[in-house]
Every structure is written in C-alpha cells, then in structure tokens.
Amino acid sequence: MDRSPVVVIALFLVCCATFMLAQTPAQAPQLSTRDAASQQASAAAATFDQVIDRTIEREHFFMAQMKQLHPLVETYLQNLKEDKELNAPVPVSDVYFLGRLDLSSGETDDRTFSSPTTSGLGKRMLSKLKNVYSMRFMPLGFAQMVILDQDFQRKYYDFTFVRREFLGEIKCIVIDVAPKKDAGNGRFLGRIWIEDQDYNIVRFNGTYYPHPRSSYYLHFDSWRQNLRPGGVWLPSLIYSEESDLKYKLGQTLNYKAQTRLWGYNLKDFRRNSEFTEITVDAPQAVQDESKKAQDASPIEAQRAWERQAEINVIDRLQQIGLLAPEGEIDKVLQTVVNNVMVTNNLDIQPEIHCRVLLTTPLESFTIGHTIVVSRGMIDVLPDEASLAMILTHELAHIALGHRLNTKMAFNDRMFFPDERTFERMDFARDRGEEEAADKKAIELLNNSPYKDKLSNAGLFLKAVQARAPQLKNLIRAHLGDSLLNGDATRMSSLMTASPQFDPKKADQIAALPLGGRVKVDPWTEQLELIKTKPVAITAAADKMPFEVTPFFPFLTRFGSASASPNKAAPAATPTPEKTATASPSGQ
C-alpha cells in the first residue's frame, strides 16, 4: 500500500503553505453508531484473536464513517536546533498548513487554503517539487496521520499483546503492530490502544514502514476522541516529532508539530432551526415580533448597514469553521473589555462583542464592533493584563471609528469558494490607523484596572519581537493584524517599562507554550478554558514560550459525568516555581 510521503526532497523550501477549504456541506453528516458486526458481537471478546478481529472490523467501519466527514486539519510545525545554554532544542523556523480532509474517494486528499502570498502553491505545484536539494514538508502527509491503514487486514500484520492500561477513564488493550514481510510500502509500524467496550482504536503511536527511496515517513502520536454516542471515535489531535532523521548529504531533521482536527459537524449557521420552531395557525396570524418603529433615521440606517456587513462576515467565517460559536471564552474576553470600558466611561453603540478565531497563528482584528482574537493568541498570553493589551488595541480601533468596509453588506460578496477566504476577507489596518489605535489603547489601559500590570504585557511583546525571526508563520496574520508590522511592534511603548527579556531566567514567564489555554470540541467547535494545576518550573528549558508540545488528552466516553474540559488538557501549562501567573480568565 503506497502513501503520499510526509516529507520529500524538494527544489526549495516553502515556509508557509496552507490547505484549501472545500465547500461546507449544507447538512450535518448523519453517522451510524453501530455496524452490523458490532451489533451481533456485543459480548466482550474472549480471546486475543477475537480482539484483533473486532478491532479490524471497527477500523473498517471507522474508514467508512470518515468518507462522510470533511473536518478542518491544521498543522503547525517548528524546526529545531539545540541551544547549548538552555540544554534544550529551540525553534529556528516554522511551517503552517490549514485545510480540509477529504476521504470520500477512498484516498486521502487535501484542499489547500490559499492567501494572497501563497496563492499558486496548491496541490498541483506541490506535487511537482520532488527533486533534489532540500527537505520539504508535504501537507498531505500530516493529514494521513489520522489513518492507521486504509486497508487494515490481519494478513498484513503481526500483533503482540503488551498490557492493559487506562487513557483517562478509558480502559485500553495495548498491542504492538508490525507489518509482515512483503506487506507493501506505507504500512503502520508501532503501538495501538484499543478501548475495551466496542474495540475502537483510540490512539496509535509509531510510523509508516517501509518508506520509498526518495521520501520519508515521520513518527507520530495520533489520538481519537469519543465525539458522538454509540462508540463513534474520531481523530482530533496528532503530535509528530523527529530528532535524528538523516537525509541527503548527512543532514538531520529535527522538528516537532501539532495537528488539530475540528469542524466535523459544520451546520448551517443561518439558523434554520428558527424556522422549524415557527407555528403558523392562519395566514393573518403571522406577525413580525421585532420592535415596531418608524423608518430608521440616517444615522440608524448607516449603523444598520454596517451591522449587516458585520453579520455577513461573521456568519461566513462560522459556516466554514474558522470562527468558534459563541461560548464561555467569549464571555471571559467580554469581561476584560468591559473592565476597560467602564473605567474609561466609554459608551459605544452598537455594543461590542468578542469572538475567537479557531486557528493557531497569533492575530487579532475587528469586524465592525466585534473583536476577534485567535485561539493561538489566547494560548500564549501569560496573564490577564497581556490579554487586556490585545483587546484594548482592538477596542481602540472601534472607539476611533475605524470601520469595516461596508461592501460586505451585499450578500453576493459572500458567494465565493471557501478556499478563497483569505483572499476575499482582509481586516488588516493601515499603518496610520494602527499607530492611532496604539496611542488610544495606551490611554485606555493607563486608566484601567490593568495599569499596574502592563510591564508583563510589555515583556510579552519583547518575547514576540525576539522570536519573530524564527517563528514567522506563527506571528504572521491571515485575516487581521500581526503583532509585528515590518519594523514596527504593536503597542511598542509598553516595552520601555518592562524588564529585559531573558529566556534563560527560569522565573520569568514572558509567554506560554501553545495549547495550554483553550480546548476545542472537534464536533461542535465549542471552546472551553483548560483549567490545570500550576506546574513548577525547575529550569529555563521548561518555559517553552510559543513552542509546540505533545498532546496527552484525558479520554472519556461521550456523555460520561467525568467528561470535562478540565481533564482534557494537552501538556499542562507551566507556572514558575514560587511565581503565580494569572490566566486570561483571572483564575
């Protein structure tokens, strides 16, 4: 069985390629919860052979389900180099991919999300760059890590029982799996964890073997979660890492990467459910329940027109899975914004709302009177004052009257393929507006509850500035404004009053690792704040600002009482020993 390799020898290194989004299905996928085999074999397996047979049956059922689903797939990768002073690897460059997985044809497919700077770097061009000199990562390879084997059969593998162990609350049977001789290229080699009720594979850790002569398969740790009732386990998190892979001319590949999947159940967010709730007794009984008033005044009409543009954009971003539904974290962000507004006597109409972009790159922007902050940004901010700095900068744009282009009020502007979103939607501000917002934000912050804690925010900006040359794709914005704009750093005046950034100082937490704040439900896209216990920092290498870390989710069964976001964290968020760092929620 041949797979698309995850890395190939290529003519040049493309630092940022992004996956293209397919059109969102109009209806939510309807998944079966049991196949005929599992319905007939509900009793526990009595022998090891029965465990293997049922696992293979469930994996075939899993593949059939995945053909109906088209989740978003995001991979963020950091190339590493050993830092002798820290005695740990640190990032030297990064790569970012975003796309939608499509298994409907029976083969793994990726659809590339292009932006103005990456347009033209689609799958066709990627497939041609397979020649000589430098190592290049292929998006398709990371997407394939959701699949153990597209044709998982007993005849291709040897199975060895290891032990039983718990992953979270899930009791698992642990088995080592190795391809038989002459089983073909790209078979799985490693370890699998099988839950002991329906015999679904919930985790697999290893690589594909053997690899073709001119390409390489990478090591990975792939997790599935029970997202629906009836034993439906779907891919959600993948960690990949290499530290000593030798390739052409004796060069060594050293990297770590996170892959996240979400958007399995993208619904029609135009609220079709509201129509289903209408009861019509007679034609004359149907009445508009909205507030009765006269025609809008010119000012009201202008605001309504701007609000229409805002709603159109927000709905479109939510439909394609880039914007999270309204939820708990929005309220946390709103509280911080309200703290600043109240102490500054700001009365802004229409009222301001906050939303979260589901992607990793650090960016924030406004859509009309809606402040949008990326999940990755929330992850790495060290405290509430730093969060207040990001939000207040966007609040300043609104207070200064920096408006959304009202061309978006025309609904036909939303009629474009999902893969063109980064090209058609641009919320970045020009240099003049950014400088004005910086000045206004400093004024607002100096009269806010956060005025005595802004040195931490300045330290965060210094950390961004120091890491930006190595983490260009993490710092680069796709829809809005980056923290860095050429040689200018947002809110740079805050850095003058902050301490010197020292990555070797163990008790100085300038930024957090990725993945420590926010948990995404891959089925509903709802967000939860991860509430983990502080972890003592014993060495500077433990801080890992802006860095990728492995995943270790606490697995639960769908609907169980212990299914909690507090138990589903990746690596715990570090806290320096004897030094408390506040979360954005203030907890």
For residue 17, give the CATH number of its domain.
Answer: 2.50.20
Whether 305 and 356 map to the same domain: the answer is yes
pLDDT (0 to 100) of residue 44? 79
Residue 222 in tokens: 């792939």
Is residue 52 one of the residues assigned to a domain?
yes
Residue 67 placed within a domain: yes
Is residue 554 one of the residues assigned to a domain?
no
Same domain, 333 and 464: yes
417 & 338 share domain: yes
User: Nearest Cα to 194, choosing from 40, 71, 44?
Assistant: 44
Q: In the chain, what is the straight-line distance between the N-terminal and C-terminal CA atoms, in Å?
A: 50
Is residue 587 one of the residues assigned to a domain? no
- Asked if 374 and 505 sit in the same domain, the reply is yes
Q: 17 and 109 in contact (C-beta within 8 Å)?
A: no
The pLDDT profile of the chain, 587 residues, written as one tens digit per residue, is 656 554 433 322 233 333 333 333 445 556 655 554 444 445 678 899 999 999 999 999 999 999 989 899 999 999 999 999 888 999 999 999 888 888 877 665 555 455 544 443 333 222 222 223 334 555 556 778 999 998 999 999 999 999 999 999 999 999 999 999 988 888 999 999 999 999 999 999 999 988 777 677 899 999 999 999 888 999 999 999 999 877 766 778 899 999 999 999 875 444 444 444 444 445 555 555 555 568 888 888 888 888 888 898 999 999 889 999 999 999 999 999 999 999 999 999 889 999 999 999 999 999 999 999 999 999 999 999 999 999 999 999 999 999 888 888 888 888 776 667 777 888 889 989 999 999 999 999 999 999 999 999 999 999 999 999 999 999 999 898 889 987 778 999 999 989 999 999 989 999 999 998 999 999 999 999 988 788 888 899 999 999 999 999 999 999 876 665 444 444 433 443 333 333 334 33
- Distance (Å, rounded) from C-alpha 231 to C-alpha 38? 10
Number of domains the chain contains: 2
Which pLDDT score, from 0 to 100, does residue 203 have?
A: 98
Residue 529 tokens, joined: 């704040």
In a shared domain, residues 305 and 257: no
Decide: helix, strand or coil at residue 535.
strand
The range of the structural domain enclosing residue 478 comes to 298-510
Last residue within a domain, chosen from 510, 526, 560: 510
pLDDT of 559 reads 84
Burial class (CB in 10 A: 0-12, 13-18, 19+), 71: buried
CA distance 443 to 395: 12
Whether 148 maps to a domain, the answer reads yes
Three-class secondary structure of residue 250 per DSSP: helix
Q: Are 400 and 455 in contact (CB under 8 A)?
A: no
The Cα-based distances of 534 to 537, 583, 587 in angstroms read 9, 11, 11
Residue pair 579/509 in contact (Cβ under 8 Å)? The answer is yes
Q: Are residues 427 and 489 in the same domain?
A: yes
Tell me whether strands 170-179 and 157-167 are parallel, antiparallel or unpaired. antiparallel
DSSP state of 405: P
d(CA 208, CA 526): 33
Same domain, 317 and 396: yes
**Nearest in space to 20 (alpha carbons), one of 78, 76, 102, 77:** 102
* 232, amino acid identity: V
Rounded to whole angstroms, the Cα distance separating 53 from 61 reads 13
49-58, Cβ contacts within 8 angstroms, sequence gap of 24 or more: 51/173, 51/175, 51/194, 51/199, 52/154, 52/159, 52/175, 53/154, 54/199, 55/192, 55/194, 55/199, 55/200, 55/201, 56/152, 56/153, 56/154, 57/199, 58/198, 58/199, 58/200, 58/201, 58/231
Alpha-carbon distance of 150 to 147, in angstroms, equals: 7
pLDDT at res. 176: 98
* Alpha-carbon span 520 to 527, nearest angstrom: 5
Amino acid 139: pLDDT: 53
- Domain edge (last residue) among 486, 510, 534: 510
**C-alpha distances in Å from residue 560, one per residue of 58, 327, 557:** 22, 21, 6
How many other β-carbons are positioned within 10 Å of the β-carbon of residue 241? 17
Q: Is residue 571 in a domain? A: no
Residue 430 and residue 445: Cα distance in Å, rounded? 22
In Å, how far from its chain's centre is CA 402? 29
Same domain, 257 and 341: no
pLDDT, position 565:
42
pLDDT number for residue 15: 35
Q: Do 304 and 199 fall within a single domain?
A: no
Q: Which of 326, 328, 327 is nearest to 317 (CA)?
A: 326
Q: What is the pTM of this model?
A: 0.84
* pLDDT recorded at residue 304: 86
Per the domain annotation, does 539 fall within a domain? no
The whole-number pLDDT of residue 137 equals: 58
* 305 and 169 together in one domain: no
Is 169 in the same domain as 313?
no
Residue that finishes a domain, picked among 217, 236, 262: 262
Specify whether 74 is located in the same domain as 217.
Answer: yes
Model pLDDT, residue 186: 87
Contact 242, 254 (CB under 8 A): yes
Instruction: Give the separation between CA 304 and CA 284, rounded to whole angstroms.
Output: 28
Kind and range of the H or E element at 366? Answer: strand 364-367
In a domain, 586, yes or no: no
